[in-house]
């Protein structure tokens, strides 16, 4: 501990600098389009993907569809604890972006919601020793429980005062949080949430970037990098790993936004010609002045059906010769079109 306070050890490489530059550039492009920030449905879908992936990393076996159903208030068949994990995580995320990332009190509050009915130590720092496991193999033994309160205080003080780029700061925090492993359970979930919160305070876009889906896909590498950083007492490689994950997640959003902009224009045209009646494919194509059926199907009809702006009159037989299309119920779609 220096006079300036605790400072986590990490190395900034050329790769780190290049990743920060690339991330900043792609954020600018996404922010210009602003599709996600202005699209509640897309934000909600990404939030659900985040919850599913973050819980899957912790061995929750529920599918994305099951997680979606739970969040939409539907009943599913599943282990009660796994269902509870989904409900708790959704509740935390609904409150997360209003929390203070520099408040230990808020951190404990978030943990209490996250682990409600799942552990007796919900909302309190752990009272015993814990380790991080990759399957059956322990890859990290956390510091003793009696050190946790002051270690977390030092870490929170550092993220509050350090004049470090927010991307680096959030990654270093994430690593140090997992190293300390302050809770008996829920450390991975809360660590990822808190990094989201830190990044959101820098750029609001990060409130809905599903980075967890890529961490889940790269889980083996994730644990490998954690182990290497423990061994070297330097979180630089972990910072690079998470920055690369952030960049790839943003690239996916950028690609989705490009498609969304194109689709929206065509769907808008389709919606303008549909009044309060039912239309065949031929009738819709004539109204739009289109002659190429595959283009109409792929660029107008299917996207509108997927977005639930229109619906089939014979949904059980999509290829029926009697099939027609009409506007979907506005209460179902969430649109007033």
Range 64-82 average pLDDT: 96
Q: Which residue in the block uniquely carries the two structure tokens 């943003």?
A: 250
pLDDT, tens digit, 9 for 90 and up, residues 209-232: 999 999 999 999 999 999 999 999
- Beta carbons of 241 and 221 less than 8 angstroms apart: yes
Q: Where in the chain is the domain with CATH 1.10.3290.10?
A: 14-256
Q: Return the number of other C-beta atoms located less than 10 Å from residue 219's C-beta.
A: 14
How far apart CA 208 and CA 30 sit, in angstroms, is: 13
- Beta carbons of 199 and 170 less than 8 angstroms apart: yes
Position with higher pLDDT, 280 vs 3 = 280
How far apart CA 22 and CA 328 sit, in angstroms, is: 41
End-to-end CA distance of the chain: 60
- Beta carbons of 138 and 159 less than 8 angstroms apart: no
How far apart CA 159 and CA 139 sit, in angstroms, is: 26
Handedness of CA 38, 207, 124, 6 (dihedral sign): negative
Residue 261 has pLDDT above 70, yes or no: no
Instruction: Give the phi and the psi of residue 320 in degrees, each rounded to 5.
Output: -60, 140
Per-residue pLDDT, 331: 36
Residue 43 has pLDDT above 90, yes or no: no
Per-residue pLDDT, 6: 87
Choice among 47-51, 213-217, 316-320 with the minimum mean pLDDT:
316-320
How far apart CA 308 and CA 267 sit, in angstroms, is: 11
SS3 of residue 196 by DSSP = helix
Which one-letter DSSP state was computed for residue 146? G
- Beta carbons of 260 and 36 less than 8 angstroms apart: no
Handedness of CA 68, 302, 31, 250 (dihedral sign): positive
Buried b (16+ CB within 10 A) or exposed e, 232-270: eebbbbbbbbbbbbbbebbeebeeebeebeebeebbebb
For the chain, what percent of residues have pLDDT higher than 70? Answer: 91
How far apart CA 225 and CA 239 sit, in angstroms, is: 10
Position with higher pLDDT, 329 vs 94 = 94
Choice among 46-60, 274-288, 294-308 with the minimum mean pLDDT:
294-308
How far apart CA 74 and CA 66 sit, in angstroms, is: 9
How far apart CA 322 and CA 308 sit, in angstroms, is: 20
How far apart CA 3 and CA 326 sit, in angstroms, is: 70
Q: How far is Cα of residue 203 from the mean position of the Cα atoms in its chain?
A: 15
Q: Which CATH superfamily includes the segment(s) 14-256?
A: Fido-like domain (1.10.3290.10)
Per-residue pLDDT, 333: 40
Range 244-252 average pLDDT: 94
How far apart CA 176 and CA 231 sit, in angstroms, is: 14
Residue 334 has pLDDT above 50, yes or no: no
Range 47-59 average pLDDT: 95
Choice among 11-20, 45-54, 239-248, 299-308 with the minimum mean pLDDT:
299-308
Q: Which residue in the block uniquely carries the two structure tokens 């990060």?
A: 206
Range 5-22 average pLDDT: 95
Choice among 46-50, 147-151, 290-294 with the minimum mean pLDDT:
290-294
Q: Which pLDDT band holds residue 258 (cuts at 50, 70, 90)? A: low
E strands present in 129-168: 131-134, 137-141
Choice among 195-204, 231-240, 254-263 with the minimum mean pLDDT:
254-263
Range 138-158 average pLDDT: 93
Per-residue pLDDT, 262: 60
Position with higher pLDDT, 107 vs 276 = 107
Residue 4 has pLDDT above 90, yes or no: no
Per-residue pLDDT, 202: 96
Range 69-89 average pLDDT: 96
Structure tokens at 315: 């949904």
Per-residue pLDDT, 66: 97
Per-residue pLDDT, 133: 74
Question: Which residues are within 8 A (CB) of 297 and not within 5 positions of it... i.e. 6 or more apart?
Answer: 281
Q: For the whole model, what pTM was predicted?
A: 0.76
Per-residue pLDDT, 1: 42
3-state secondary structure 159-188: HHHCCCCHHHHHHHHHHHHHHHCCCCCCHH
pLDDT, tens digit, 9 for 90 and up, residues 19-40: 999 999 999 888 766 655 666 7
């Amino acid at each position: 501990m220096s006079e300036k306070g605790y400072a986590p050890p990490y190395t900034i490489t050329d790769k780190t600098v290049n990743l920060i530059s690339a991330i900043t550039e792609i954020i600018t492009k996404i922010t210009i389009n602003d599709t996600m920030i202005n699209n509640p449905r897309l934000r909600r879908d990404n939030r659900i993907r985040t919850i599913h992936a973050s819980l899957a990393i912790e061995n929750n076996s529920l599918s994305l569809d099951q997680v979606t159903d739970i969040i939409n208030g539907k009943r599913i068949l599943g282990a009660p604890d796994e269902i509870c994990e989904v409900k708790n995580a959704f509740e935390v995320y609904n409150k997360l972006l209003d929390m203070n990332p520099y408040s230990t009190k808020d951190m404990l509050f978030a943990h209490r919601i996250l682990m409600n009915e799942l552990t007796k130590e919900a909302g309190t720092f752990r009272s015993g020793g814990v380790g991080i496991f990759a399957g059956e193999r322990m890859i990290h033994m956390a510091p003793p429980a009696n050190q946790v309160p002051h270690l977390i205080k030092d870490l929170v003080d550092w993220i509050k005062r350090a004049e470090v780029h927010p991307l680096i700061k959030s990654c270093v925090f994430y690593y140090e949080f997992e190293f300390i492993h302050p809770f008996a359970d829920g450390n991975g979930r809360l660590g990822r949430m808190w990094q989201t919160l830190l990044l959101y305070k820098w750029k609001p876009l990060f409130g809905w970037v599903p980075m967890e889906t890529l961490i889940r896909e790269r889980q083996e590498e994730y644990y490998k990098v954690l182990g290497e950083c423990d061994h070297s007492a330097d979180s630089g490689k972990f910072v690079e790993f998470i920055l690369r994950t952030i960049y790839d997640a943003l690239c996916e959003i950028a690609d989705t936004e490009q498609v969304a902009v194109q689709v929206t224009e065509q769907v808008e045209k389709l919606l303008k010609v549909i009044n309060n009646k039912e239309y065949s494919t031929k009738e819709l194509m004539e109204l739009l002045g289109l002659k190429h059926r595959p283009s109409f199907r792929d660029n107008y009809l299917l996207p509108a059906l997927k977005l639930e702006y229109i619906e089939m009159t014979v949904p059980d037989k999509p290829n029926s010769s009697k099939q027609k299309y009409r506007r979907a119920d506005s209460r179902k779609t969430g649109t007033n079109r």
